[in-house]
Amino acid sequence: MKPRFGLQARFLALVGVTFLVVVCLLFLLLRKERQQQDAVEAQSLEAMHDMAMETLRLRGEGITAQLADRLANPLYYFDLETIGQIIQGTRRQPDVSYVLVFDPQGRVVHDGSADITGYGQNMPDPLAPAAVAANGVRSQWSAHVLDVSAPILVGQHRLGGVRVGYSLDGIRKYEIDTRERLHERLSESSERHLAWVLALLLTLAAASLLGAWLLQRNLVWPIRQLARAAGEIEAGNYVAGRIESARRDEVGNLIRAFTRMHDSIVRQNRDVRRMAYSDSLTGLTNRLGFRESLGERIAALSGGSGQLALAFADIDDFKRINDTLGHEAGDEVIRQYAQRIQRVVERWGGPDTLLARFGGDEFVILVQGSNVRATVRRLAEALIEDFRGPIALHGRRAFLGTSIGISLFPEDAGDAVELMKRGDIAMYQAKRAGKNCYRFYSRAMDEQAAQRLRLEDDLRGAWERGELQVLYQPICRVSDRAVVGAEALLRWEHPERGTIPTPQFISVAERTDLIGELGPRVLRQACNAVAGWRVPSGRPAPFVSVNVSSRQLRDGDLTEQVAACLRESGLPASRLHLELTETALLRDVGLAADLLSRLHKTGVNIWLDDFGTGFSGLSHLRRVPVDGVKIDRSFVADVETDADDLALTTAIIAMARSLGIQAVAEGVETEGQFELLRERGCDLAQGYWLGYPVTAEEFARLLG
Ligand code: C2E
Ligand code: MG
Ligand code: MG
């Protein structure tokens, strides 16, 4: 999370505020200085003015007093010429505006002009009366003039007076000049001040910026780096979460401490992963670890050009080892098998090949590289070849094959889930193809598998929903065509897809555990149905023949189920026939022989279904207690046209005879077929020509 008001921002804000305060203070300082300057200027000017006036006054009074002395005699003698000469001398001084000599009444005696223009006139200006009345030297000011007057005395006798007028213009001009000069000086000094202040401010701003940059570089950036690294570690990106620092300060120490903590987390994480992601039995990567690696590799390759091949390898018939030799032996087999695969993978897989145990007897190999198809093919062939050799097991030798399914990325699947699913489908196909082989995934497989899966889903609960029904097909005695029994056949009416062919859903049920539920239900219903059927007296009570799958033989407690059904329905054991296919028997002859003899002893009849299709040879018939064989309908269908099929059918009937067991023909569709079978001495027959599979109620009516 990015801080809203981080260190950097706070620092800048502080700098900004400080800057502002400094600017304000400086502004106030400058203002104060300006005011002081103005005051200094005013006071200086005033002092200067006073001084200039005083100087002028003193000079004027001196001169005027002197003038009054010098004028005493000439005035006494009324020597106007001398008076004129004396005052001319003063009059010529530059700042003197006028010199007036006057009599005691204040009339002008001489004014310095050649023809004394004002002679005898009273002095009109307002300063005149005071000048005339003065007893000593007297100075008076008007706006433009300093008027200095002194009485002219001879002894105690007053002859008149003299007035000298000094112009103030000179002083004014001087004052103005001085003021300008002073102002100039003060302004210069103030500008210098301002320049200093500005320089100070700029320095402050530069220092702040430098401070901000240093803060950013030395504190903010490392802290952000730490926060980012912590985020990466949190998200599991340990490589991106590692940071280093060569700094020798506290921040450097903090980063180094953080890096040590990172390394410790990585180590712990690795240990945890090792524990969680490896298989305890083989030491290989387990399902969890494999899924994660696969996801990572696919993510890394997405959009690129790399390829992956996934090989699903499953030990064939491993369950048999577990069931017969125990789980410890099973574990030993898994361990040895893992070592073998590991050797093969090391030799044939590339450096990036990953081997994992997926659980049970399933292993997965992930091949990465440029030509994965060729590599994985070589690997699969090498594995199959390797497994031709026996595994040593407590002094015994066991032979186990392996079925391998291969899917390719991105050719077959675009993501991990699909890739695994398709590898599994391909492996299942390899098993179906006879085991101990490998198969590459193809799209056709997928559709089959998807359909099977859908069917499997739908089949669960179909019985409860009433979609499954048991029908009964009549089985007739060939000699007189009398109905002597029925075969119970399961039907599935799918709500959307209509009738599903029985072999199709039976194979799905057999592959899953569903047959374990359906088989006993059919058995119970068939027993109850046939126990309720009544036949006219003199005719033998009908039997019912129920199909039993190989899975029921292996997994279930068939004998107990049969006993329970017979008990429940009250049906005599002799009226129940069980149909087993050749292949079901062949899967484990020992086991089947044992189970069937126990059943046989209770009185239940055992029939071998679809006889002839498996070509197991007749030797099995001697080992298994069989009461009859059902000639497969593929032979019956062609008895009229195909001499070989007729010969085979005839041979089977003859063989049954010689063994003292019944021969039952399936799929009789024409009268011709029926006649041929009768001629050959076949005991029983069933087929559409004799009767379609019908419900229990319809069958009961049929008997009546
Ligand atoms: P199956 O036991 O060989 O059953 C005989 C099959 O042949 C039945 O097919 C029957 O309808 C059919 N069929 C009878 N007469 C004729 C005929 O004249 N012409 C032709 N073309 N076919 C005829 P269905 O019912 O489809 O059963 C197929 C197979 O499904 C059975 O073969 C049996 O192996 C298995 N199956 C049926 N019901 C059950 C069951 O309840 N449990 C087990 N485990 N398998 C069953
Ligand atoms: Mg059958
Ligand atoms: Mg059959």
Over residues 488-516, the pLDDT tens digits come to 999 999 998 999 999 999 988 988 879 98
Any ligand 1 atom below 6 A from CB of 502: yes
Task: Indicate if the pLDDT at residue 421 is higher than 90.
Answer: no
Which residue CA neighbors atom 21 of ligand 1 most closely?
667
Choose the final residue of a domain: 388, 415, 441.
Answer: 441
Residues 313 and 414 both lie in one domain: yes
Q: How far, in Å, is the centroid of ligand 2 from the Cα of 538?
A: 28
Tens digit of pLDDT for each residue in 568-611?
999 999 999 999 987 667 666 677 788 888 999 999 999 999 88
CA 667 – CA 687 distance, rounded (Å): 4
- DSSP string of 320-358? HHHHHH-HHHHHHHHHHHHHHHHHHHHHHS-TT-EEEEE
Ligand 1 lined by 490 (C-beta under 6 Å): yes
- Cβ neighbors of 471 (< 8 A, separation 6 or more) are 488, 489, 490, 491, 693, 694, 695
For 101, the token pair is 């000599």
Per-residue confidence (pLDDT) for residue 624, from 0 to 100: 79
Q: Is residue 99 part of a domain?
A: no
Closest Cα to atom 45 of ligand 1 = 547
Same-domain status, 328 and 418: yes
Residue 74 lies in a domain: no
The CATH number assigned to the domain holding 348 equals 3.30.70.270
Q: Which of 250, 276, 302 is the last residue of a domain?
A: 276
- Asked if residues 290 and 278 have their Cβ atoms less than 8 Å apart, the reply is no
Q: Which residue has the higher pLDDT, 48 or 489?
A: 489
Atom 3 of ligand 1, residue of closest alpha carbon = 610
Q: How far is the C-alpha of 623 from the C-alpha of 578, rounded, in Å?
A: 17
In a domain? residue 156:
no
Q: Which tokens in the block code for residue 13?
A: 């804000």
Q: Alpha-carbon dihedral of residues 250, 251, 255, 261, nearest 10 degrees?
A: 50
Q: Is the distance from CB of 165 to CB of 128 less than 8 angstroms?
A: no
Write the residue with the smallest CA distance to atom 27 of ligand 1. Answer: 502
pLDDT of residue 614: 55
4 — pLDDT class (breaks 50, 70, 90) = low
Pocket test for ligand 1, best of 470, 489, 561, 634 (most atoms within 8 A of CB): 489
Q: Tell me, yes or no, whether 567 and 686 share the same domain.
A: yes
Low-confidence winner among 234-243, 344-353, 415-424, 448-457 (lowest mean pLDDT): 448-457
Tokens standing for residue 366: 């992930």
Residues 697 and 569 in one domain: yes
CB-ligand 1 contact for 503 (6 Å cutoff): yes
- Check pLDDT > 90 for residue 682: yes
CA 185 from chain centre, in angstroms, equals: 74
Q: Is residue 89 included in any domain, yes or no?
A: no
* Alpha-carbon gap, residue 518 to 500, rounded angstroms: 16
Residue 350 in any domain: the answer is yes
Q: b/e per residue, 380-398, with b = 16+ CB within 10 A?
A: bebbbeebeeebebeeeeb
Q: Number of structural domains, the chain?
A: 3
Could you read off the pLDDT of 620-657 as tens digits, one per residue? 676 778 899 999 998 899 999 988 789 889 988 988 88
- Residue 577 has a CB neighbour count (10 Å cut-off) of 25
Residues 509, 361 share a domain:
no
Can you tell me which residue has the tokens 């093969």? 344
Same domain membership, residue 654 and residue 687: yes
602 Cα–ligand 3 center, Å: 24
Check if the beta carbon of residue 578 is closer than 8 Å to that of residue 537: no
Domain boundary pick from 244, 276, 308: 276
Residues 191 and 295 in one domain: no
- State the distance from the centre of ligand 1 to the C-alpha of 489, rounded, in angstroms: 6
Verify that 251 and 176 share a domain, yes or no: yes
**318 and 262 in a common domain:** no
Q: Which tens digit of pLDDT belongs to each residue from 584-595?
A: 676 666 777 888
- From 523, 666, 684, the mutation candidate for ligand 1 (largest count of ligand atoms within 8 A of CB) is 666
User: Cβ distance 484 to 684 under 8 Å?
Assistant: yes
**Interval between CA 579 and ligand 2 midpoint (Å):** 6
- Domain range for residue 597? 456-703
- pLDDT number for residue 616: 47
Maximum mean pLDDT: which of 39-43, 247-251, 400-404, 691-695: 691-695
Residue 507 Cβ inside 6 Å of ligand 1? The answer reads no
471 pLDDT band (50/70/90 cuts)? very high
Q: Is 306 helix (H, G, I), strand (E, B) or coil?
A: coil
**CA gyration radius for the chain?**
66
Residues 240 and 186 placed together within one structural domain of the fold: yes
Contact (Cβ atoms closer than 8 angstroms) between residue 110 and residue 190 = no
Percent of the chain with pLDDT over 90: 46
Residue 662: phi, psi to the nearest 5? -85, 150
User: The whole model's pTM is what?
Assistant: 0.49
- Asked whether residue 178 is domain-assigned, the answer is yes
Residues 345 and 422 in one domain: yes
Q: Is residue 412 part of a domain?
A: yes
Q: Kindly state whether residues 485 and 593 are assigned to the same domain.
A: yes
Distance (Å) from CA 547 to ligand 2 centroid? 5
Query: What's the CA gap between 129 and 246, in Å, rounded?
Result: 101
- What 3-state DSSP class applies to 490? strand
Terminal C-alpha separation, the chain: 88
Contact 608, 637 (CB under 8 A): no
List the residue whose alpha carbon is closest to atom 30 of ligand 1.
503
In a domain, 521, yes or no: yes
579 lines ligand 1 (CB under 6 A): yes
Question: With a 6 A CB cut-off, is 692 part of the ligand 1 pocket?
Answer: no
Residue 290 CA, distance from chain mean position: 20
- CATH classification at residue 583: 3.20.20.450
